[in-house]
Structure 1
Amino acid sequence: MKNPKQNKIPFIILLVFHTGLLCYSFYKTKNNKRVFTLLMSNIGFAYLLEFFVLNIFNAYKYKPRMMKKKYFDNILGAILSQAIFVPFTAVFLTTLKIGWVGKVMGGVYFSLVEFVFLRINVYQHNWWKTVYTLILIPLYLKVSDIWNMFLAKKYSLIHFMSLFLTSMVTEANILFIFASLRKIRFGFGRFHTLNEHFIIVPLYAIFYSLISTLSFLKQNNWISKLRVLVLTVSLDLLFKQVKLVKEKFHVLDYLTIRVLAILLHGKYRDWVYGGNNEVELKEIELDTKKRHYGDRLSIVIKNKS
């Protein structure tokens, strides 16, 4: 009989492998801020899809056996998949400019991983089918390419959505950590179930991230930070008053967490909306000089002829 502790081994192997892919992606690129923004956007897309596929419609179940409670263990497996394995691969293929062949091979790769996970019983299907993975993964990987192109062209809507997705992923991850530590629980009525909690949490993260993104839209300053703090604390007090949330935070601990999260969101704003980094500016300056000298050389050649 297989030792349940062995369930975590394939997840750890994939974690190490895909972390290596991400590190190589950062190493090969000159704009790490854009790569980070792309990564968080990709994770955000995956989280939104997972909200419907896993949290609401219960398509499959992960069994990494890394957490005592099965519900949290299932969500952790989904986080490893949707926040690490697939998005890290997407960033790797995008930064190395690997085309449709790589995207299709990515779909085949994750389908094979899924097949192996099913065979060794660390993952199970409810109504999901591997063919869905085979079809959807290449499309997801292509969206990463398109999003990166839009980021490079500095489209305002893409910047707004990227900041929103980055903030949403951060909020969702923070809430998962504190829920697993039994510090917070969302739900309706007297007893808040984990099923209720993980349906409400994504909506909570979306709502708060929208507030943060709109507040930091024009600039990252102390007025923006204070506005986010006042709005989020007021809403948390309202949610607590109507018993939508139960939390065990000391007031000082809660404010510290909220302030740190707001500072982090402000930093995201600088990374997403910031101008070209120093390396890019040097490249632009070099390209400009090359074009300038090239034009002068052409004029000289024409005059001699």
Structure 2
Amino acid sequence: MTHNPYIYITLALLATLLFLYTLVKQKDSKLIFLYFIMAGHTFMFEYVIFTLLDSYVYYPQILQNPFYDSIIGAIVSNGFVIPMVSVSIAAFYVSWKNRFLTAFYIMAIEVLFLSLGIYEHNWYRTVYTGFGVLGAFLIADFWHSTLRGTPGRTARFFSLFIAAYTFKASAQFFASGVFNKFIYTAGWFDNPYRDSIAYATPSAIFCSLILAYTFTYYRKWPALLLSLIFLCLTDYLQYYFGFIQLLEWPLWVYLLLNPATMAFIWLLDKFFFEHHQYKKFALF
């Protein structure tokens, strides 16, 4: 084994330690919710520039499949480093001077990865990372303030949606890319693995939108059951028409991703929103 996996794993562990330190010092459980929201934002951004526009390539050398291996590298960056650092920045109300310094450090890590040959640009440039990180800090500030206040129902909907997307997209990737249980076939790209990931994201977004909307505006068991049946029927139709190809799982196991996502939203809603008195006329 090369040194590549150890470098990526070390970076993920350092980001996790920073996040855990933030939780211990701030004693605010809403920071966990904020993490899922920030990870969802970075995953959506990564979907556009990495999956669709082929911006760069990671080389963690953890998985044998080159495209899925590159996604593991993207997860380290966009599932650990950027969202966890952003949560800490917002939680500690870090000054803009130190925010620019943090963005510079992250850019320096990227340059180091380039020099080590464990990461490669296609059309992307390191300066874009600096702007992206500063933008993530602003988004984290907004959601941190929203979650700590008295949110409106629109804020509840979008926060549940983005967090649920993080869960569903992650579950899809690990089941498909890491454990090879199924693959999506949209026919959008020649590379079947890139094609699978390109289709997986809209699929996760659709599921998360339906469930978040139902939980926010129709939080009754009949409505939740109907939404779950609708999602399972939609997945069955995708399977029937060949957009989902099951490799090791039977169909009923694949369909369990929907109730699993619903259970995740239910937990978030119960612990972070259930006892709120919402602003009737406020968007956020």
Q: Could you state the TM-score of these two structures normalised by the residue count of structure 1?
A: 0.83
Match of 2:193 in 1: 194
Quote how far apart the aligned CAs of 1:136 are: 2.2
Structure 2 CA distance for aligned equivalents of residues 253 and 120 of structure 1: 41
Task: Provide the secondary structure at the position in 2 that maps to 1:234.
Answer: helix
Q: Structure 1: which amino acid aligns with 2:136?
A: Y
Q: Structure 2: which amino acid aligns with 1:50?
A: E
1:52-131 to 2 correspondence within 5 Å?
52-131=48-127
1:260 paired to 2:260: yes
1:203 paired to 2:202: yes
Structure 2 CA distance for aligned equivalents of residues 200 and 228 of structure 1: 21
Pick from 145, 151, 172 the counterpart of residue 147 of structure 2: 151
Q: Structure 2: which amino acid aligns with 1:273?
A: F
Structure 2 CA distance for aligned equivalents of residues 194 and 121 of structure 1: 23
Match of 1:160 in 2: 157
Task: Provide the secondary structure at the position in 1 that maps to 2:245.
Answer: strand
Contact 1:220–1:266 (CA<8 Å) still a contact in 2?
A: no
Q: State the 4+ residue runs in structure 1 displaced beyond 6 angstroms.
A: none
Quote how far apart the aligned CAs of 1:262 are: 2.1
Q: Could you state the TM-score of these two structures normalised by the residue count of structure 2?
A: 0.89
Task: Provide the secondary structure at the position in 2 that maps to 1:177.
Answer: helix
Quote how far apart the aligned CAs of 1:247 are: 1.6
Q: How many residues are matched?
A: 271
1:109-162 superposed Cα distances (whole Å, 9 cap, x missing partner): 110000000010110000111111122211211221122112222233222111
Q: Structure 2: which amino acid aligns with 1:120?
A: L
Task: Provide the secondary structure at the position in 2 that maps to 1:5.
Answer: coil
Contact 1:111–1:130 (CA<8 Å) still a contact in 2?
A: yes
Structure 2 CA distance for aligned equivalents of residues 252 and 203 of structure 1: 21
Q: Structure 1: which amino acid aligns with 2:122?
A: N
Task: Provide the secondary structure at the position in 1 that maps to 2:2.
Answer: helix
Task: Give the fraction of aligned pairs with identical amino acids, expressed as a percent.
Answer: 22
Unaligned ranges ≥5, structure 2: 277-284
1:29-55 superposed Cα distances (whole Å, 9 cap, x missing partner): 2330x2112111111110111011100
1:172 paired to 2:169: yes
Q: Structure 2: which amino acid aligns with 1:188?
A: A
The verdict on how the C-alpha distance between 1:220 and 1:44 changes in structure 2, with shifts beyond 3 A counting, is: same
Contact 2:235–2:255 (CA<8 Å) still a contact in 1?
A: no
Contact 2:156–2:216 (CA<8 Å) still a contact in 1?
A: no
RMSD: 1.9
Pick from 23, 26, 30 the counterpart of residue 29 of structure 1: 26
Contact 1:225–1:263 (CA<8 Å) still a contact in 2?
A: no
Unaligned ranges ≥5, structure 1: 277-305
Quote how far apart the aligned CAs of 1:252 are: 4.6
Tell me which structure has the larger Cα radius of gyration. 1
Structure 1 CA distance for aligned equivalents of residues 45 and 35 of structure 2: 16
Contact 1:215–1:224 (CA<8 Å) still a contact in 2?
A: yes
Match of 1:134 in 2: 130
The verdict on how the C-alpha distance between 1:140 and 1:244 changes in structure 2, with shifts beyond 3 A counting, is: same
Higher relative contact order (CA 8 A, sep 6+): 2
Structure 2 CA distance for aligned equivalents of residues 192 and 216 of structure 1: 37
Match of 1:292 in 2: none
The verdict on how the C-alpha distance between 1:90 and 1:188 changes in structure 2, with shifts beyond 3 A counting, is: closer
Structure 2 CA distance for aligned equivalents of residues 156 and 113 of structure 1: 39
